[in-house]
Chains A and B, each alone.
Chain A
Amino acid sequence: MAVIIISSNSLPKAAQIATETAKALNYRCLGRELLREVGEKYGVSEERLHKTLDELPSLLGVNAKAHALYLAYIEEAVLAKLSQDRVVCHGLAAHLYVRGVSHAFKVRVLADPSELIPSIMREKGVSPEKAAKDAKHEEALRSRWSLDDYRVDEAAPSLYDLIIDLSRMLPEKAVRMIMETSSHPKFKPMTYSVKAVNDMELASRVRVALLEHFPDVIVQADGAAVVVETTAVPREKGKKVEAIEKLVRSVPGVGHVEVHVANDIIRQAAESFR
């Protein structure tokens, strides 16, 4: 059965639809409660993990380096659960990093503005005008967040298999529609798509192992083979390759490692001016 990933312009609405869909299908529902597990594993407060998912990196909040690291922790935890199948996932940005997986059925739920605005008014104790402005601001922030971290606007329709507008449909009908559409054979797991998730899961574990020491790495996995791309100045290349290879080999499931190093032109130029 498919993995279902639900994204929304309203976190509570995504949670509601995801919970009801998971219950109706007898799937595991995976949401923000996973952050507690992630926080305990890596010694990071849940609050900072929430901030990572909700805010842009900042000096007063979560800085850029920690932001990237925490996102890697979250991705690793989510991908480990998704590789077990039969999951409805929401609130963890999985729609942005689970890509090219044919059995991951992605749904965008658009909250009914007539419900969204009053809920912001209640939550923040603000006027309808301010609530509408806040909703717009939040959407712009989400677009920027997703573009900065994943180079894709999460509001882009092309990212989803199904878009549901709750101002035109009751939540119960939305759940039925998700259930029916996700049962189409084209969303069935197949050897290729299961391998795609497993490859992403291994790559995510390798990234977590590397990011603290090497924040500029790009990691890809294919079966047990892992390719790491990074940059270095020529005199550091050998040492860096060796250190990366050592760390990658310590990750369970890795068989073969390749490290591709491009010249760090910016650092090289900066050093030549010293």
Chain B
Amino acid sequence: MAQRLEVLLLDDEPIVGKRLKPALSKLGCEVEIFENPSQALQRIAQKAFDIVVTDIRMDEIDGIQVLEEILKKSPRTKVIMITGYAMMSVAREAMGKGAFDFISKPFSPDELRKVILRAAESLGQPMDFDATRAAGSE
């Protein structure tokens, strides 16, 4: 059986984590959710995740700083940025600093699932889209 993807999900709105965790778990990912960026960074310092999904606009530490910290520690980690305040300049900054993708909110779990699948493929751990969709609709 393929190794499960380790995913960290960071968003200061609790509803985002609550909504996305089941969708990603059904994909076969091990998901840890955080609402506090400092705590998320502490966890990232302890463990190299395959994928990190992070909000951009948060108090104290923003998603761009989180991105920089992650890639400093674990360059292979795919970082997916999500934001309700999408702007071209921020999108370019994130991609320029090494983000894997950038998604504007609101998005459906299926949209995130597609990005996770691309990230998995890029990590050399491809997943079957149809199988994961079927799992997602259970």
Contacts and interface: CB of A to CB of B under 8 A. Distances in A.
Interface residues of A, number: 13
A239 to B, nearest CB: 33
B96 A190 contact: no
Contacts of B98: 185
B38 interface: no
A187 interface: yes
Interface in A23-40: none
Interface in B16-53: none
Given A100-B88, A101-B88, A102-B88, A192 B93 contact: no
Contact of A186 (B87, B92, B103, B111): B92
A195 interface: yes
Interface residues of B, number: 17
A191 interface: yes
Contact of B103 (A101, A185, A192): A192
B123 interface: no
Nearest to A190: B102
B91 interface: yes
In the A-B complex, the 9 residue pairs with the smallest Cβ-Cβ separation, listed nearest first, are: A186-B96, A186-B92, A190-B102, A102-B91, A191-B103, A192-B102, A102-B88, A192-B104, A186-B95
Given A102-B91, A186-B92, 15 more contacts: A100-B87, A100-B88, A101-B88, A102-B95, A184-B96, A185-B95, A185-B98, A187-B92, A187-B95, A188-B95, A191-B104, A191-B115, A192-B86, A193-B91, A193-B102
